Amino acid sequence: MSKVSFKERVILVDILAVIFGISSWVEVNGVWVETPILVQRLPEEWNLASFIVMITQLANIGPIVYSILKFKFTLKSVENPAIHVTLLIGAVSCLLLSLFWDRISLIN
């Protein structure tokens, strides 16, 4: 069994990071493509696009906070669970959105 060189590992990590970024991009664009269908059935109508933009921008706070904490402290023990939790939240969100996109829940 041959050893994987450091350079090969770096290239693999870079490729996986690109794939992760592309998957997030495809997910957000998938919602934008479906917007004309969603606005016909949801009470937000065309305000939905504004909500999507706000939520997408709000989601950028998590990686920023994580980066600041990682710079400030050594969070090696937190890195793996943080990655798994992020992937789990994304997968569950996509699943729930695909199953319940046409349901309405009124709060207050």
Give the pLDDT of the chain (108 residues) as one tens digit per residue: 568 788 888 888 888 878 877 877 787 788 778 888 878 877 778 887 788 778 878 877 877 777 777 777 765 666 777 778 888 988 898 899 889 877 877 777
Q: What is the pTM of this model?
A: 0.51
Enumerate long-range contacts of 42-49, CB under 8 Å, 24 or more apart. 42/102, 42/104, 43/104
Q: For residue 82, what are its two tokens? A: 């943080």
- By residue count, the chain amounts to 108
Which DSSP state fits 2?
P
Helix (H) or strand (E) holding 75: none
Q: For residue 83, what are its two tokens? A: 């990655």
Residue in 64, 61, 38 with CA at minimum distance from that of residue 49: 38
